[in-house]
């Protein structure tokens, strides 16, 4: 017996069309499967997402405000310098690091100005502690909604603020 190898039926191509340009169901389904990941990737591009400001901007502003408040507390009571100067330095570094991260994703953003002067006329240790505690909580809240690449920076800011708030109590 002569066995003839079964060959699959040839795809039906309308007359006059190149078989490479005809969209088969497989090609169409494969293309449709790639659309959602492609659209999701578009939202990762800076400037293409929501119109909300970068949450790190508010954290950087809070870091500058905390540093200014702690510096004002030291100016009001120089005996606090030993315990508050490391906080002033840390919060200044936080503002710089947060600004650098914002600038990395949005290079056209203008450089922030100096913080406004503290609203408390004679800030004390309790005022500084309360401000740093609030900043730490804000950083924690923001970190929970950030992509993994940015979470480390914000989580370290939150941890530092929480630690300083505890040390100042």
Beta strands in the chain (DSSP E): none
Contacts of 20 (CB under 8 A, 6+ apart): none
Per-residue confidence band for 31, with pLDDT thresholds at 50, 70 and 90: low
Which burial class, exposed, middle or buried, applies to 56 when counting CB atoms under 10 A from its CB (0-12, 13-18, 19+)? buried
Average pLDDT across the chain, whole number: 80
Q: Which helix (H) or strand (E) segment is 39 a member of?
A: helix 25-42
First to last CA, the chain: 96
Q: 3-class DSSP state for residue 114?
A: coil
**Residue of 62, 76, 74, 52 whose CA lies nearest to 131:** 62
* Range ranked top by mean pLDDT from 26-30, 52-56, 100-104: 100-104
Q: Determine which of 43-47, 120-124, 137-141 has the lowest per-residue pLDDT on average.
A: 43-47
- Please give the structure tokens belonging to residue 91: 């919060």
Q: In this predicted model, which residue has the larger pLDDT, 38 or 141?
A: 141
CB-CB contact of 22 with 11 (8 Å):
yes
Structure confidence by residue, pLDDT tens digits, 120-136:
678 899 999 999 999 99
The distance of Cα 68 from the centroid of its chain, to the nearest Å, equals 24
At 161, phi and psi to the nearest 5? Answer: -65, -45
Q: What is the DSSP letter of 147?
A: -
Structure confidence by residue, pLDDT tens digits, 145-160:
999 889 999 999 999 9
Percent of the chain with pLDDT over 70: 67
pLDDT of residue 10: 56
């Amino acid at each position: 017996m002569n066995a003839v190898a079964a060959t699959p039926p040839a795809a039906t191509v309308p007359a006059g069309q190149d078989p490479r340009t005809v969209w088969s169901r497989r090609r169409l389904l494969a293309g449709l499967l790639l659309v959602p990941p492609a659209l999701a990737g578009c939202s990762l591009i800076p400037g293409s997402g929501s119109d909300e400001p970068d949450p790190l901007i508010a954290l950087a502003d809070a870091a500058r405000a905390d540093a200014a408040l702690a510096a004002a507390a030291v100016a009001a009571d120089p005996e606090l310098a030993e315990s508050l100067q490391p906080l002033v330095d840390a919060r200044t570094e936080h503002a710089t690091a947060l600004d650098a991260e914002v600038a990395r994703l949005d290079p056209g953003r203008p450089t922030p100005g100096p913080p406004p002067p503290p609203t408390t006329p004679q800030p004390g240790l309790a005022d500084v502690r309360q401000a740093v505690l609030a900043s730490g909580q804000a950083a924690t809240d923001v970190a929970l909604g950030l992509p993994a690449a940015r979470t480390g920076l914000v989580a370290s800011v939150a941890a530092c603020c929480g630690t300083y708030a505890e040390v100042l109590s």
